Amino acid sequence: MSPIEEVIINKKSNINPIWIMRQAGRYLPEFREIRKKNTDFIRLCLNPDLSKEITLQPIKRFGFDAAVIFSDILMVPYGIGQEVKFIKNFGPKLGDLNLINLDKISEDSFTKNLSPVYKLLESLKKSPEMVNKDLIGFVGAPWTLLVYMINKVSPKNGLKENFFENGNIINKTLNILDTIIKLHIKNQVNAGATIIQIFDSWAGLVDYEFNKYLYNPTKSLVDYTKNLGVPVICFPRNIKDYPEFCKIVKPDMINIDYNVDPKLIIDKINIPVQGGLDPKVLLTDKNNMKKKVLEYLTIFKNHPYVFNLGHGILPETEIDMVQELVKTVREFK
Ligand code: 1CP
């Protein structure tokens, strides 16, 4: 059994497992090299040879316990036929979503559109670097995908004023997302994913109707994934009440963000915990980073814990700091 599965299933492992959100990406010079020559991000995600190489880059360099496939949560809107573009120094930009298109989506065409992603998993599964490591497939949670599909740009500066105006489109999109995200989960599991992580990066934007937008849609995916026999990790970033989320949604493991005080949360959450450290700590110095890493490891010493960050690693992070981070986690007893 892999170290992460040991933590999830047996509640302990002989080593302190570690992987990092967004570990296959822009802080790695070898990634930037490939990215320079491949300006179309979606095409890069749909190139199984290059996306395999990118997925394995952080495994080869740092020996993490899991590989997270090089793909994106916005491959789902792409797969159902909404235009998705990634614009340099701006971020994602999506095309219009219309109800007629949503009605026409077929499961077969979705699976066909994303078949390179499933090929990537099949090929990683056979790769020698992956022995005794987890292969993490992932999806965006319905709320976060709804946000991108309707807002059409990142909501980092807030949701558009008319976001909630068309209740019919919102309800219909949430319904379709439930079906299509489940299909994407099933396809990833069939192709070899050993864990599924659900990213709800914009969960913190919901202040009311938690059941409608966060708990019910995510629980539906969690139950579905558990039924496939694969552990499921949830990351409802910046959600107001992590303990309540865990009680209602019941994932196999919860990834906390860096605004959560680990000392305050530990007694209130009785499932395995992942993550927490502020990625900005990796931009400081080694001594400070070590101190902060040891704080997390000490607090979670007697709680099933997988080391990770409280959000994705920042592009300006130095390789040296990641190396030191892995060393600190591995040496902690
Ligand atoms: O070179 C580039 O400019 C591309 C940068 C990049 C990368 C490397 C994007 C654009 N996506 C990815 C890969 C990616 N995205 C992975 C696989 C690699 C890995 O994790 O190691 C994963 C798991 C994601 C997930 C993802 N995409 C999330 C959830 C996690 C999070 O960070 O909150 C989100 C919100 C996205 C959307 C997205 N993809 C990329 C951008 C610039 C954005 C928008 C972010 C925003 O709205 O501000």
- Looking at residue 100, what is its pLDDT? 67
Atom of ligand 1 nearest to the CA of 25: 8
Q: State the distance from the centre of ligand 1 to the C-alpha of 148, rounded, in angstroms.
A: 12
Which residue(s) pair with 94 in the sheet? 84
Residue 22: CB within 6 Å of ligand 1? yes
Q: Are 189 and 228 in contact (CB under 8 A)?
A: yes
Residue of 44, 72, 133, 259 to mutate, ligand 1, most atoms within 8 A of C-beta: 72
Per-residue confidence (pLDDT) for residue 98, from 0 to 100: 74
Residues, the chain: 333
Q: DSSP label at 133?
A: -
State the CB neighbour count (10 A cutoff) for residue 165. 10
Tell me which residue of 303, 304, 282, 297 sits closest to 328, measured CA to CA: 297
pLDDT of amino acid 313:
98
Atom of ligand 1 nearest to the CA of 21: 20
Residue 74, ligand 1, Cβ within 6 A: yes
Cβ-contact 78, 113 below 8 angstroms: yes
What pLDDT does 316 receive? 98
Q: What is the pTM (predicted TM-score) of this model?
A: 0.97
Alpha-carbon gap, residue 304 to 254, rounded angstroms: 11
Among candidates 15, 17, 16, 32, which has minimal Cα distance to 317?
A: 32
Residues of the chain with pLDDT under 50: none
Would the CB of 333 count as within 6 Å of ligand 1?
no
- In b/e form, how buried is each residue of 245-284, taking b as 16+ CB within 10 angstroms? bbebbebbbbbbbbebebeebeeebebbbbbbbbbebbee
Q: For residue 211, with 0-12 CB atoms within 10 Å meaning exposed, 13-18 middle and 19 or more buried, which class applies?
A: exposed
State residue 102's pLDDT score.
75
Q: Which of 251, 275, 151 is nearest to 205 (CA)?
A: 151
What is the predicted pLDDT for the residue at 105?
Answer: 85
What secondary structure does DSSP assign to 211-253, as a single string?
IIIIIHHHHHHHHHHHHTT--EEEE-TT-S-HHHHHHHH--SE
Q: Using a 6 Å cutoff on CB, does residue 97 contact ligand 1?
A: no
CA of 11 to the centre of ligand 1 (A): 30
- Does the beta carbon of 123 lie inside 6 Å of ligand 1? no
- Give the model confidence (pLDDT) of 230-277 as tens digits: 999 999 999 999 999 999 999 999 999 999 999 999 999 999 999 999
47 touches 38 (CB < 8 A): yes
- Per DSSP, the residues of 253-288 read EEEE-TTS-HHHHTTT--S-EEE-B-GGGGGS-HHH
Continuous H helices in the chain? 3-5, 29-37, 41-45, 48-62, 75-79, 99-104, 107-113, 115-125, 142-151, 167-191, 210, 216-227, 242-249, 262-265, 286-299, 319-331
Long-range contact list for 8-11, CB < 8 A, 24+ apart?
8/195, 8/231, 8/252, 8/253, 8/272, 8/304, 9/231, 11/272, 11/304
Q: Is 218 in the pocket of ligand 1 (CB under 6 A)?
A: no
Residue 68 CB less than 6 A away from ligand 1: yes
Specify the 3-state DSSP secondary structure of 195.
strand
70 lines ligand 1 (CB under 6 A): yes
User: Token digits for 332?
Assistant: 């902690």
Q: Distance from the CA of 5 to the center of ligand 1, in angstroms? A: 25
Assess whether the C-beta atom of 3 lies below 6 angstroms from ligand 1: no
